[in-house]
Amino acid sequence: MAASAKQRFARREYLGLASAEFATLRRLATPQKIQAFLNSLPVNFEPDGETVFSVREVLSHRCAHCIEGAFVAACALWVHGEPPLVMHLDCDPCDYPHVVALFRRGGAWGAISKTNGTPLRYRDPVYRSLRELAMSYFHEYSDRRGRKTLRSYSCAFDLRRLPPALWVTNDRACSETHDRLAALRHYTLISTSQARHLSPRDRFERQAARIVEYPRPPKS
């Protein structure tokens, strides 16, 4: 059964984490520290097939991709008394969706993000609405051909609505949580007409977009 939405601080026993796992999250006391921790983790290139790691699996494997990093960030926020909110960013079918963890300061929204490139990274809490925050990713959210692909964003989803066994300690793919986020109500960022007239990113921008934090390891 999911925790009450009134449960402000996540307890170790409720989450089901070991002492060492919980201690790691306890050290991540601010959004900036959470982001620095995610940046320190190599990207999960899924060498053995598609994964949706839980918080425990990320801490065990010491790597993560976007939704997996969002789980860790949301859980760390919850440990420190902030709601574990995430937002799903959806895109044209030619590209990949993205998930960020949300936090607020002074009524403004910010985002914690795990990504391997330069565009979809941390956002300072300066955005007055989720739409404004989502739009901050619009120009750089593009596929390999430079086409701008971001199309919609979800409402903020509180992970306290789900049992921790689904996303904190799950030792299998967190597919159910992934599907819940993908099925959330989404709000369109641009019209169909606007999408038809978007300018692709130029050659210089496409070259800059190829910069990665963690190179893909060679195939064995």
Q: Identify the residue whose tokens are 């709000």.
A: 187
pLDDT score recorded for residue 219: 81
pLDDT of residue 103: 99
- Type of residue at 131: R
The predicted-structure confidence for 83-107, as pLDDT tens digits, reads as follows 999 999 999 999 999 999 999 999 9
Q: pTM for this one?
A: 0.95
Q: Alpha helix (H) ranges present in the chain? A: 12-15, 19-26, 31-40, 55-61, 66-79, 130-135, 164-167, 175-182, 192-196, 203-209
The two structure tokens encoding residue 84: 């574990």
**How many angstroms separate the CA atoms of 103 and 110, rounded?**
5
Over range 61-86, report the average pLDDT: 99
When computed from its CA atoms, the radius of gyration of the chain, rounded to whole angstroms, is: 17
Task: Report pLDDT digits (tens) over 168-216.
Answer: 999 999 999 999 999 999 999 999 999 999 999 999 999 999 999 999 9
* Residue carrying the six token digits 């941390």: 122
Task: Check residue 34 and give left, alpha or beta (phi > 0: left; psi -120 to 50: alpha).
Answer: alpha
* pLDDT band with cut points at 50, 70 and 90 for residue 1: very low
Helix (H) or strand (E) holding 100: strand 98-105
